[in-house]
Amino acid sequence: MKLAIVGVTGVVGREMLEVLSERKFPFTEFIPVASEKSCGKEISLDGKNYEIISLTKLLERDIDLAFFSAGREISKTWAPKLAAKGVKVIDNSSYWRMRSKNKLIVPEINGEGLSINDMIIANPNCSTIQLVMALAPLHKKFVVKRAVVSTYQAVSGTGKKAVEQLKNEKNKIDAEMAYPHQIFQNVLPHCDDFTDNHYTKEEMKLTNETKKILDKNIDVIATAVRIPVSRGHSESVNITFEHDFDLDEIRAVLNQMNGVTVLDNPSKNKYPMPINTYKKDEVFVGRIRKDFTQSNTLNIWIVADNLRKGAATNTVQIGEYLIANNLL
């Protein structure tokens, strides 16, 4: 099992190293890949140092599996080159997600749809992953018709530059900005670029990716907001079902979902918060309550570490699924 990580020096790439170590991913050879400025430097995994190489050099190597987290343009250009050599690619960028020939995978939900012929597999957007992890079991039981989502997204979802902006502003350091406005002590109703329909790309990802992963008949409408938190995305979700439910049923269904943890005891101040989810792989759900203004409608609060299940962990889990099912 010869494994490469493309974009190994980035925020998600470094998180992948931790997840590989924690989950004891069964590689026999590891090849770290990054931009030319990082080539020749070393990176550590499980106490061993590995020299970083370029994508050009990677093409000359014999590998089985590559995790990509280097942006859509790198994925667009290089993933097909590796796939043509017989390398399985699991891509964390947005480029392949909505292409009809590429699977968009959350292993607990639709991993069984993978086949040995899938050479480039897309990892969903971080905010989508935590949403569908909660929606999937509820949809199976009660049939989701519509979800209204408001997100509260950490700056690490933008990348290293945004994390640095938050730190610099907190420390009153004037430096380069990732956002058009201050993020420290502020809230930006602006995640990614705006599109022609006045929604941002991030908001449309929640709509389109949920339909592709779960059911094209589910309507999702979102407002995506950036908050001054380093890591951990939160979502307030209002869900309308085809069938009626009671709250005990909802909790039971969520508790039975692998990878979901119900944390819901408001009387004792127990509910999910980003600080609870740091470096954890589960998706946490709380504030479970009926919408008393609409029939068959539920309000829930979903929180997950966007760099873990929202990115690195889901990527590694797809790799584990391929290995376990002899799909490499």
Average pLDDT score over residue span 241-256: 98
Average pLDDT score over residue span 158-181: 97
Neighbours of 143 (CB within 10 A): 15
27 pLDDT band (50/70/90 cuts)? Answer: very high
* 3-class state of residue 6 by DSSP: strand
Copy the structure tokens of residue 171.
Answer: 């420390």
Q: Are residues 281 and 142 in the same domain?
A: yes
Neighbours of 224 (CB within 10 A): 27
User: Residue type for 120, please?
Assistant: I
pTM for this prediction: 0.96
Total of domains in the chain: 2
User: Residue type for 18, please?
Assistant: E
Q: Are residues 160 and 109 in the same domain?
A: no
Question: What is the Cα–Cα distance from 46 to 25, expressed in whole angstroms?
Answer: 11
Copy the structure tokens of residue 179.
Answer: 């956002």
Q: Are residues 141 and 93 in the same domain?
A: no
Q: Are residues 261 and 315 in the same domain?
A: no
Q: Are residues 281 and 183 in the same domain?
A: yes
Question: What is the Cα–Cα distance from 316 to 27, expressed in whole angstroms?
Answer: 12
User: Residue type for 137, please?
Assistant: P
311 pLDDT band (50/70/90 cuts)? Answer: very high
* Domain of residue 28, CATH code: 3.40.50.720
The radius of gyration of the chain from alpha carbons, rounded to an integer in Å, stands at 20
Q: Are residues 55 and 89 in the same domain?
A: yes
Residue 124 has what DSSP assignment?
Answer: P
Q: Are residues 12 and 79 in the same domain?
A: yes
For residue 158, the model assigns a pLDDT of 95
Domain that holds residue 78: 2-124+311-324
* Domain of residue 252, CATH code: 3.30.360.10
Neighbours of 190 (CB within 10 A): 15
Question: What is the Cα–Cα distance from 29 to 45, expressed in whole angstroms?
Answer: 11
Question: What is the Cα–Cα distance from 125 to 257, expressed in whole angstroms?
Answer: 20
195 pLDDT band (50/70/90 cuts)? Answer: very high
Q: Are residues 293 and 166 in the same domain?
A: yes
Average pLDDT score over residue span 13-25: 97
Question: What is the Cα–Cα distance from 25 to 56, expressed in whole angstroms?
Answer: 25
For residue 19, the model assigns a pLDDT of 98
Q: Are residues 95 and 147 in the same domain?
A: no
Alpha helical stretches, state H, the chain = 11-23, 55-59, 72-84, 107-110, 126-142, 160-170, 201-213, 247-255, 274-277, 313-324
Contact between residue 121 and residue 75 where contact means Cβ atoms under 8 Å apart: no
Q: Which residue has the tokens 């017989």?
A: 86
Average pLDDT score over residue span 234-260: 98
Phi, psi of 228 (to 5 degrees): -80, 60
C-alpha 141: how far from chain center: 24
Copy the structure tokens of residue 153.
Answer: 């997204």
Q: Are residues 116 and 174 in the same domain?
A: no
Is 160 buried (19+), middle (13-18) or exposed (0-12) by CB count in 10 A? middle
Q: Are residues 187 and 114 in the same domain?
A: no
For residue 97, the model assigns a pLDDT of 98
* 83-137 confidence digits (pLDDT tens): 999 999 999 999 999 999 999 999 999 999 999 999 999 999 999 999 999 999 9
For residue 50, the model assigns a pLDDT of 97
Length of the chain: 328
For residue 277, the model assigns a pLDDT of 97
Q: Which residues are catalytic?
A: 126, 233
Q: Are residues 265 and 155 in the same domain?
A: yes
Question: What is the Cα–Cα distance from 311 to 313, expressed in whole angstroms?
Answer: 6
For residue 234, the model assigns a pLDDT of 98
Average pLDDT score over residue span 16-38: 96
Question: What is the Cα–Cα distance from 165 to 240, expressed in whole angstroms?
Answer: 38
Question: What is the Cα–Cα distance from 72 to 326, expressed in whole angstroms?
Answer: 28
